[in-house]
Every structure is written in structure tokens, then in C-alpha cells.
Structure 1
Amino acid sequence: MDRPLVSIITPMYKVEQVLPSCLDCMLSQTYSPLEVIFVDDCSPDRSSSLVEEYAHRLEERGHLIKLVKHQLNQGVASARNTGLEQATGEYIYYFDADDYLEPNGIELMVARAESSDADIVGCNWQLSYEGTKRKMFQPKVLSGVGAFTKMCEGVLKWNLWLFLVRRSLYEQGEMLRFTPQENMGEDMMIMGKLFLRAERVEMIDEHLYHYTKTNSGSLTANYTDAHWAQVDANLRSLSRCVDRCGTESQKKEIEYLKLNLKLPLLISPCRADYQRWADWFPEANTYIMQNRTLPLRTRLVQLAAKHKLWGLVWLYYHLIMRFLYSLLYK
């Protein structure tokens, strides 16, 4: 029996330095056939040329290669949409050019999807940051409803590169697409909606994806007002979807998600971040103590913020996040 085609979508913008390892990663995949779609978002370097140089080697492995070029830089959300429009595979997988996927990654995810009739298959991953490596784990889930709950509770990560998704989920009913220009939090919005559409979701208990974190400082150090506005827009899009067709339980869970997205603003020494926390989705603060999947200390620091006890929030950041974590993850 012929194996299903898998479409791998990789947006490209200023990735010339890391693209060779990305292309080697595609070459090393044990699964075939792959439809490898590179979307050049008007990158000012040799990214497209490198893809063209590798194309014949990928084709020799039985893969289909598509290189699509934007005439103007549109951002990663539009690049993902372009890739999705070009995709013809039964399954969709998004891959970031600066990361690494184990050679049997696609093979294992497709095998699980086919054997369990899953709409979405996820995996664990390894985080590399400032010379350290940590193994990160996803919780076990069996349904889209369960995955959505775990995502909102803050124990399941929604990064696109963690999931192989049946393409029909994007196309059924109203087509799911990323919102152009809303380039932060776009994966949260899409994966939340995909989970709500999925019947069966499976997790592979292996660390198949290797993610390299490059920015340092506080969790919000590299966020601008525009970034927060994009996260806000994507969260509101998901929230409207839940309001329209979700259950009462899911409407409560989306409030947990709002709190989790606000939380990095408290992992900061900056009073401006604290004020943004206070102003953003204040209606969610009612639910602070109800999400019992979060550690008590996390709920307590949010409770302190709700009551504007900013000195306690500042102390938490310096004692727990900077001092204790620096010892644990040295």
C-alpha cells in the first residue's frame, strides 16, 4: 500500500546561516514521500539559492520540492498560509529552519497517526539554551477536547513543530488559516482551533524535536507593544471561536489560557510589565486559584498581582526565577 504524502512547510526569512542544517535534516528523514515546501518571505539573503542547490538531492530521495517566493515581506503568518495553500499531502508538519528533527521523526508520527487513526500526533522535545539541554515532556492525551484542556491549563505546549496534523482538519467547514500580520501567538490560535476540531490526539513519548532558544534576559525582554498586540489578536480569535461553539467548560478553560499568556509579564523586574498584566484581560483574574494544575506558588504570585502587591511579585522574580533557577539549571 502506498504511504501517505506528508507536506513539510518551512518559512524562510534571513535563515541562510542555518538553512544547510535544515536541508540536511530533511535529507536525513527516513520517511518518504515528503512534499517539502519552502516559502521565501522576501528574504534578503541566499536562502532560496540554497534550496535550489539542494533540490536535486532531495528529489533523488523521492521527495517533492516546492519553492514559493513572496514579492513582499508579509510575515510568518502569511508565509505559513502560503505553504498551506501549496500543500497537497494528507498530513501537514511545520518545521523551523533553525531547529532539528530526529531522522525518524516523521516516520514515527505518521506510523502513530495511521495505526491509531489520530487526527493530530505530537511528541516531546529537547530545549537547548545557553549551553544547557533540557528534556521537555508533553502530557498524555487521547482526544482533541483533552488536548485543548491541557493547553489552556498550561501543561501542553502548542508549538506547531510539535504536531503532525491531518490536513483535512484545516479544510473542514470554515477553512482554518493564520491571520496575516498577526505573527506572535499564531501557533497558539491555530493549534487551539485544531484541537477543538480533532477527535483523536496521540502523543509519542520520545524527544523527536530539538528547539534552540537564542534570546536571553527576561521572558518579555524581546516583546514590543506590537508583539503583545499580535498575541492579543490571536488569543481573541481563539476566544471568539470558543464563545461561538465551545462548551461551558471550555469557556472557563479559555480564561486559564489568558492567565497563562499573561504570566510571563510577572516573571520580570519591570513595573511596566506589571501594569500590562493588570490591564490585560482583567476578567480572567477571577479564575486565578481555580487552575489547580499550576503550582501553588504560581497561583499565589498571580494572586499577589491581582491585589497589586508588586513588591511580592518583584521578590518572587529575584528569589525564585533568578536565584533558585540559576542554581538548578546551571
Structure 2
Amino acid sequence: MPKVSVVIPVYGVEKYIERCARSLFEQTLDDIEYIFVNDCTKDRSIDILNEVINDYPARKQQVRIVHHEKNKGLPFARQSGWQVATGEYIANCDSDDWVDLNLYEMMYNVAIEKNADIVVSDFISVRQDGTERICGLRNVNASKEDVIKDIMYMRTLWCIWNKLFRRDLLLQLEEPPQKYMAEDMSVTLPLYHKSDVIAYCQSACYFYNVRTDTASHQTSLEGVVKNYKEITENFAIVQRFYSKEDKKGTYKRALNNVHFFHIMSLLPYIKEKEVRQLLRECPLSVFYYMITDRKAKTTRRKKAFKLLMKRLLGLI
């Protein structure tokens, strides 16, 4: 059994796959497995990947390429990799990102030292103009409950690619996401709750490539509405999970914050009929919790109050 399996979905990344693959194949961790999932990419991504593999003969036996018969999207590509992974722990790497050469060895060592179910590391956000920003946990000594709330209140990110999951834990995911937008949310939040030990690796060794040409950066009305609907479906997975597991309502207010945060993306398009219909469908409780929650930023509470008044007056 390898120590770590790294799952890498591949679709439309011919500009980036070489940098990603080389950073993975040069890892200092020897006992590692690489699972690339070809989600029917239409460009030369797989050809380039095979060329890079040939440059690392010692890694060839550790590489597996899973081919989808049709394009299924990122969530299903990740899940295809998880299903065939054999490592003690599973990591996820996006094929347009890259990593420092000792990332997975450091994270695995922390996992063993702490007997952790999840290890989370800092990461570096790299924008197209080359500017970089280190991102990480707000409070490295926070309890599990506080970490979950920090994620729900958007104080720290729910991204999946800076985390190492014990494979047995990841395979316990009851309802895997099926939509692209915020799919990390519907994985990370349930698994954080299920985990016994979450450990921290204080090294920013994952480089997140901030691209503005992806679906998550859509600004057209059609794109924004589509993204909102996908987020809503993935959020529903989280809601169903916590409705069963959180009988005391510990996270009820924080969950409403997650919903409201994504409602905010619709506000610039509030004059559009389709957007107004979506806002009418939003439960009033979301607005109520936001305007009464002192932890929410003042500007967001004001916007929530305005939306609540419009909803009550039938203006939306």
C-alpha cells in the first residue's frame, strides 16, 4: 500500500500539465501513487503528460491514467480517482496547479505523527500578474468545531487540494458532489465533522493558479445563474448531512451564512427576471440569521436587511 495517492483530474490543461506533472514526479516521497483521470480532454494534455512520464522512468510504475468514456466533470473525475486509489492517504491536485517537491512527504509525516484523519497545509495563491499571497488557517490551535465554523463563515477556505485525507475516511463520504461549483464544500465540511484528528502542516507548498478563464469566474447572467444553481445543489448535500449529524443546531447559523454568501453573487443582476425568481425562492431564515448575527460583517448585514425588507414587501 502506497503512503499517499495523488488524484489529478485532467481536462483542457495543455498549457499547465507539464509543470504540474513534473512537480509531482519530483516529490521527495518515494512511496507514492499518481492517478491522472482523463475526463475526455479535447486538447494535447494527455500526450504532454505521457511525454513527461517518459522523462521519469523510476515513476512509471507508480502512474495510472484512468480514461473516462465521456466527459463527466471535475467532481466525477476526482471520484474516479478515489475509487481506484490504494494509498493510506489521498491527496488531490488540480492539473493547472503545482507543488513544492517535499509537500507530500511533509504532510504524510504530520499525518503519522499526529495519527490524523486530515492534514491541512497552507498554500500560495498565484495570480496571473505573478503576485502571490499565502493563505492558511485563521487559528492553528482552534478546535474542530471552530475550524468548521471558520469555513462556514468564509474565514478560511474549504478547498480540497491543500488537504490530505485518510483514504478510509474519504470513502465514507455518504453523498459525493455531482456539480462543479463549490464541490469542495460538500466534501470538506462533512469529512471535517466525521474526522477525529485534524492536523496542521505549517508550510505553504501548494501553488494555486488563480485563473479567470474558468467556470467559477463567469460574469454573464447565464453563467452566474448556472453557478448559483450548482452551488445550491452542493450546499443541499451539506445541509442534509448536518441535519442528521448536528442535532443540537451548533452550525445552523453558520450554515445560513454559507447560503447567504452565495445569494450575494446574484445581487448585481437583481433586475433580471430569473434572478428575482431565485431570490423569491430563498428562505427568509437566511436573511434573518444574517441580520441578527454579530459575527457577520456590517455591510453584509445591511444588504441582508434590505433584501429581507424587499422580500417582505413583495418587491422581489
TM-score, normalised on structure 1?
Answer: 0.82
> What corresponds to 1:289 in structure 2?
291
* 1:301–1:233 distance in 2 versus 1, CA, 3 Å: same
- The answer (yes or no) to whether the contact 2:177–2:237 under 8 Å persists in 1 is no
| 1:245 aligned onto 2:255 | no
Please, which moves more after superposition, 126-135 or 162-171? 126-135
CA offsets, 1:292-325, max 9 Å, x none?
A: 444333333333333349xxxxxxxxxxxxxxxx
Instruction: State the alpha-carbon separation in 1 of the partners of residues 174 and 56 from structure 2.
Output: 29
> What corresponds to 1:318 in structure 2?
none
Instruction: State the alpha-carbon separation in 1 of the partners of residues 25 and 258 from structure 2.
Output: 37
1:104-253 matches, within 5 Å, as 104-131=102-129, 132-139=131-138, 140=140, 143-172=143-172, 175-176=173-174, 178-180=176-178, 182-215=179-212, 221=219, 223-247=223-247, 248-253=249-254
Instruction: State the alpha-carbon separation in 2 of the partners of residues 292 and 27 from structure 1.
Output: 47
Instruction: State the alpha-carbon separation in 2 of the partners of residues 10 and 294 from structure 1.
Output: 36
* 1:5–1:62 distance in 2 versus 1, CA, 3 Å: farther
Instruction: State the alpha-carbon separation in 1 of the partners of residues 124 and 275 from structure 2.
Output: 30
* Alignment match of 2:92 (pick from 94, 102, 107): 94
Measure how far apart 1:227 and its partner are: 2.5
CA offsets, 1:135-182, max 9 Å, x none?
A: 22322255543332221121121111121111111234xx445333x1
CA offsets, 1:261-295, max 9 Å, x none?
A: 323334x4764497445643432111113444443
> What corresponds to 2:256 in structure 1?
255
Q: Give the root-mean-square deviation of aligned CA atoms.
A: 2.7
**Could you tell me the percent identity over the aligned residues?**
24
Measure how far apart 1:80 and its partner are: 1.0
* Alignment match of 2:63 (pick from 65, 82, 87): 65
* 1:253–1:212 distance in 2 versus 1, CA, 3 Å: same
- The answer (yes or no) to whether the contact 2:121–2:204 under 8 Å persists in 1 is yes
- Match of 2:90, SS state, is strand
Segments of 5+ residues of structure 1 without an aligned counterpart are 310-330
Please, which moves more after superposition, 35-44 or 51-60? 51-60
| 1:47 aligned onto 2:49 | no
1:23-38 matches, within 5 Å, as 23-38=21-36
- Match of 2:203, SS state, is strand
Please, which moves more after superposition, 235-244 or 278-287? 278-287
- The answer (yes or no) to whether the contact 1:59–1:65 under 8 Å persists in 2 is no
* 1:143–1:36 distance in 2 versus 1, CA, 3 Å: farther
Instruction: State the alpha-carbon separation in 2 of the partners of residues 93 and 59 from structure 1.
Output: 22
TM-score, normalised on structure 2?
Answer: 0.85
